[in-house]
Structure 1
Amino acid sequence: MTNLAKPLDQLEGSVSSELDGNPPIWVTRIKGPYRDNLYVNNAKILQDRSNYIQMNHQHKQQVLHVIDQVLVPVRSANKDTVQIYNPDAFQFLNQSENLDLEHHRVRSFRQRVNQNNKGNVFLAEGKNTFFIPVDEGFKPTPRPEKIDQKVIDGHVIPNHVLFTDATPKDKDYETLAFSDNVRVTISFSTQSNGKTSSYYVKSNTIVGDPNHIEGVVLAEIVKANIPVRNGVVHLIHRPLMVVDTTVKQFLEDQEDGPLYKFYNKIRDEGGDFMQEITRMRDLTLFAPSNSAWSAAKIDTLYNPDKLREILNLHLVRERLTVEKIRDENVNQVQTAAERKKLYFNVIRNGHNVTLTVEGGGVNATVIEPNIAATNGFVHIIDRVLGVPYTNVKEKLQSDPMLNNTYHLGQQGNFNDELGDKTKRFTYFVPRNHAWQKAEIHFPSAHKKLFMKDYGYHVRQILERHLVVADRAYTMADLKHLANDTVVLPTVRDHLKLRVKESDKSYYVEWQGEWIHVYRPDVECTNGIIHVIDSVFLKESDVRVSGNPPVPLMSPHVTIMLSVAMLFSVKWLLL
């Protein structure tokens, strides 16, 4: 209740409540396409049921607004303790033992604030958001000493009162620790823990110094939305900005958090995977979220050896941040899985940068980047790499590197046949760069292929790239067929290839040209794609012809595949 009648269009900033001490009720107005969304503290105003205006018997206006949750003030722990009304954040810290904070205690952080003479930060008037780590988050023992003045500043967002439901997710807010020398932002996020979701905040040290490492620190909000006179307080499970744990310790710290399924799988069935990342001094781990593991259904699909390969596919033996991948144009990197690489794609939308990573035929998005550890970085991703969930057609459609081949395959409905679940395809797919090369070498043929009137010729050329059999063939399978000639059912021509391996890459020879296999073994649910750097194309392929098109899977057409291996490969484990 407030002492002023405020219709919706007059609600701004804050209003004083009728509770003892008149603590403020903070108002958040979020612009919407049709109308603004309004929150009071963390409660959303149900506008269709609000703005009910009447006059009381004293002829004074009254307004009723309906909200979706109860407003809970700061309350004393019990009647026998000192009664505290409308405290600011500094009083909240100093009187925390007398307040109802459930089982949480904040003595350790309060001690560091007093020792660093930073009480003024929590006394500041105006609109602020304060993050206070609870005592349980001050382990291991050296951690309290890392809470210096700059770190304390990194727990305060000035000029904004941010409640969890009323704050945009993944939007960066500058902290008091944002200056010329050190730059730290904070953003909110949610993570699924199975049936429920938890709120998290992450500090991002964009520019650091010798005492403050660049990277993200993720902290769960254990008690949210505590209103105070100068803003709002959130209790978090560990200090922000402080990077003092290894990747292994970070995973252990997330036992009930956004990575608990990944952690449990490593702990229970990952063999010595945990020991391996413990020994490594420089690593990057692409860690699937809980929902990603649930969707992949790994428990029922894979044996221990395959599971270990999947885990290794998520591990890189160097430090990689999103900024490094973006700024140094890192397109691919070797993983801990033998002969398995990750391929990166940076998507820019204005100032926003999204990183996607592909491994084992699966394209995942990095949803929580740059979580810093003492020996590397963790990126949380939304898919499990190496567990395919798309068929050949769907993979072509979703992969931006294969846009041109997919576009050509739309002619004559060629792509539709690639979704057949009863067949097993091995498809040599030219990437976009390959078609650009073809345009230079065969400009006339290339131009005609991308014209709708030449669909028959497009089909002929794409069918030349496609093998259909009772199984799909990896590049290793083809390599093991060295010096043998095999007949594989296909849909066009007698395609004669040789295969060689050099500098940890595969090459296929067609028409006297050795073509690099840019991405081998892209697994799909109904086959395998090999992404190649050139098109199996001749100038004579595109000509006016009255010949009828040959249907896909014509029973009398076969491919002669001659496979030879050049034993120049160096077997190295990174």
Structure 2
Amino acid sequence: MISCHPQIRDNKTIIDKQVIHGHVVPGKVLFTRTVQDSKEEFESLAFTDNLKVFISMENVSSFNNEDQYYAKSKTIASDVAHMKGTALARIVKGNIPIKNGVAHLIDRPLMLVATNVLAILQKTAQLSMFYDLIRNHDSGLINVMTVAKSLTIFAPSNEAFKKVNNRQLEQIQLNTENISRLLRLHVVERILTTDELMDRNREPNLQVPTLSKGQSLYFAINSMDPKSPVVTVEGAGVTGTLTTANVIARNGAVHIVDRLLGIPSQTVYEKLATDPILSATFNLSQQEGWNEKLKNRDEQFTLFVPTNDAWAEIRRTMPSAYKKLFMGSFAYHVRNILERHMIANSVFTLEELLSLTTNATVSGKNILQGRLNMTRGKVYFQARVTQSFGDSADENDAQIVLDMKDGNTAEYYTDWNGVRAKVIRPDLKCVNGVVHVIDKVMMMNRDVTVSGSAVPAASGLASLVATFFTVAFARALHH
């Protein structure tokens, strides 16, 4: 048996029999030295028909890289008196032998909620770097966390900070606005648990606005196991995994994340390779090594990348073209289509695309036009579009369209030859560029039509070789 004994300092805390049982693992003797994987969970004594509480232990690093051990309770089924969620407690003295097992002293009770989300950041050693960053640079956010009635914090662990470019983080800290924007990217003004994320997982583009103006978080569930779902969160192009979810406070929840959002460390190539909703475009881009250029950290790229669902639509509506593109022998056509979605040698965030209208020429009613050159064709950036626009017959010409709604919100689109694709995830920043995710592929069936002037690279080479030998053979006969 393992027992965790809390040092109780709050006389107002009510601890009932089930809470006591939630600190005990029956039939197991668990020492801190045996801790390997925090995902290994054990049923506590508080495991009844209506209440189900698991206990686990984990080893985390503190600010000075010293090992610290935590006990964690996870209530996955609750009753009237007990909330669902996770509670963390630091083991202040572990491995105390008792007659029928082992005991660990912890610094606060399990199963009970903290006073507020700020208290969780303050008292959780593995979040000390994130808390210090907020305390030193954004006193306003400290106040928000103290008085707000419903917040969710996606808090990067100390381990997450080890993955960050320190020089870039230091530069951001020099600017008050930039560091505040970075910190508030991790805060949502509502309570958002993994249960809700799982319920909303079928939404095609699950996103939630943050306290950082104009920036949202995007979510994906990679495991639908209600006991232990694997949830990823993306902010400004950085994707992190929730390592400890649903740490409940009286005014919200904290999810511990393994990445600091907002500071990119991946190349555009790595982003495409690791983002599950972009895997189809990545697989296609591998033909003849087209995507190798995207690894270059000294180059710059802006990509409008279709999702897997966008390619699934092509498979439904253009099955023959889809088959040809993905069979691997039509690399010439693949290159043309992908380069229609790319701007080389430049990085344009959504804000920078918007700024292009500042000095643009008014062309038609309520249309501000700015033009960008794609690697293949042109892009027209437009704002407040009330009518279609485009006077070019070039099939590689595309348009980025801004539709204003209710005077204060906007939706962004690419428009190529009538193929209108919505920008569903803008500004996925990488070390060598930016990715904007779109929900359609800018292509038509004729893009993959085999003709005398448009043939796959492999068959074109074969034809050239055959022609050479035919001519040589004819000349030999002539002589």
For residue 498 of structure 1, the aligned residue among 400, 410, 418 is 400
Offset, 1:512: 2.5
For residue 128 of structure 2, the aligned residue among 260, 273, 285 is 260
Offset, 1:140: 3.5
SS in 1 for 2:240: strand
SS in 2 for 1:363: strand
1:311-349 Cα offsets, whole Å, 9 max, x none, are: 111111111111221133262211111121111111128
Q: TM-score, normalised by structure 2?
A: 0.82
* Alpha-carbon distance change, 473 to 265 in structure 1, aligned in 2, over 3 angstroms: same
The residue that corresponds to 1:554 in the other structure is none
SS in 1 for 2:126: coil
> How far apart, in 1, do the equivalents of 2:57 and 2:240 lie?
21
* Alpha-carbon distance change, 389 to 547 in structure 1, aligned in 2, over 3 angstroms: farther
The residue that corresponds to 2:95 in the other structure is 225
SS in 2 for 1:326: helix
CA RMSD of aligned residues (A): 2.1
> How far apart, in 2, do the equivalents of 1:362 and 1:299 lie?
14
* Alpha-carbon distance change, 291 to 514 in structure 1, aligned in 2, over 3 angstroms: same
Offset, 1:489: 4.5
The residue that corresponds to 2:446 in the other structure is 540
Structure index of larger Rg: 1
1:203 partnered with 2:79 = no
Q: What does residue range 507-518 of structure 1 map to in structure 2 within 5 Å?
A: 507-518=413-424
The residue that corresponds to 2:208 in the other structure is 333
> How far apart, in 1, do the equivalents of 2:452 and 2:89 lie?
68
SS in 2 for 1:287: strand
1:522 partnered with 2:398 = no
SS in 1 for 2:330: helix
For residue 57 of structure 2, the aligned residue among 185, 188, 212 is 188
SS in 2 for 1:507: strand
> How far apart, in 1, do the equivalents of 2:317 and 2:453 lie?
26
1:406 partnered with 2:282 = yes
The residue that corresponds to 1:276 in the other structure is 144
1:304 partnered with 2:179 = no
The residue that corresponds to 1:251 in the other structure is 121
> How far apart, in 1, do the equivalents of 2:273 and 2:347 lie?
20
> How far apart, in 2, do the equivalents of 1:501 and 1:185 lie?
49
Q: What does residue range 101-500 of structure 1 map to in structure 2 within 5 Å?
A: 128-134=1-7, 138-143=8-13, 146-170=14-38, 171-193=40-62, 194-254=64-124, 257-296=125-164, 297=166, 299-302=169-172, 303-329=175-201, 331-348=206-223, 352-469=228-345, 471-482=346-357, 483-484=360-361, 485-486=369-370, 488-494=372-378, 495-500=397-402
**For structure 1, which segment, 475-484 or 258-267, has the greater mean C-alpha deviation from structure 2 after superposition?**
475-484
> How far apart, in 1, do the equivalents of 2:43 and 2:304 lie?
48
SS in 1 for 2:219: strand
Q: Is the 8 A contact 2:169 2:263 kept in 1?
A: no
Offset, 1:476: 2.3
Structure 2 runs not aligned, ≥5 long: 362-368, 379-396, 456-479
* Alpha-carbon distance change, 228 to 267 in structure 1, aligned in 2, over 3 angstroms: same
Q: Is the 8 A contact 2:219 2:233 kept in 1?
A: yes
Alignment size in residue pairs: 416
Give the % identical residues.
40
Q: What does residue range 16-35 of structure 1 map to in structure 2 within 5 Å?
A: none
Q: Is the 8 A contact 2:35 2:59 kept in 1?
A: no
1:357-397 Cα offsets, whole Å, 9 max, x none, are: 11100010111111010011100001011111101111000
Q: TM-score, normalised by structure 1?
A: 0.69
1:97-147 Cα offsets, whole Å, 9 max, x none, are: xxxxxxxxxxxxxxxxxxxxxxxxxxxxxxx1111113xxx234412xx12
> How far apart, in 2, do the equivalents of 1:504 and 1:228 lie?
64
SS in 2 for 1:272: helix
1:454-511 Cα offsets, whole Å, 9 max, x none, are: 0111011001100013x31112222232354555443213333132144443223222
> How far apart, in 2, do the equivalents of 1:477 and 1:454 lie?
35
What letter corresponds to residue 508 of structure 1 in structure 2?
T
* Alpha-carbon distance change, 210 to 278 in structure 1, aligned in 2, over 3 angstroms: same
User: Which structure has the higher relative contact order (CA within 8 Å, separation 6+)?
Assistant: 2
Q: Is the 8 A contact 2:400 2:412 kept in 1?
A: no
Q: Is the 8 A contact 2:188 2:209 kept in 1?
A: yes
> How far apart, in 1, do the equivalents of 2:82 and 2:50 lie?
11
1:147-193 Cα offsets, whole Å, 9 max, x none, are: 22111111111111111122442211111111112211111111111
* Alpha-carbon distance change, 358 to 477 in structure 1, aligned in 2, over 3 angstroms: same
What letter corresponds to residue 491 of structure 1 in structure 2?
T
SS in 2 for 1:295: coil
What letter corresponds to residue 283 of structure 2 in structure 1?
H
SS in 2 for 1:242: coil
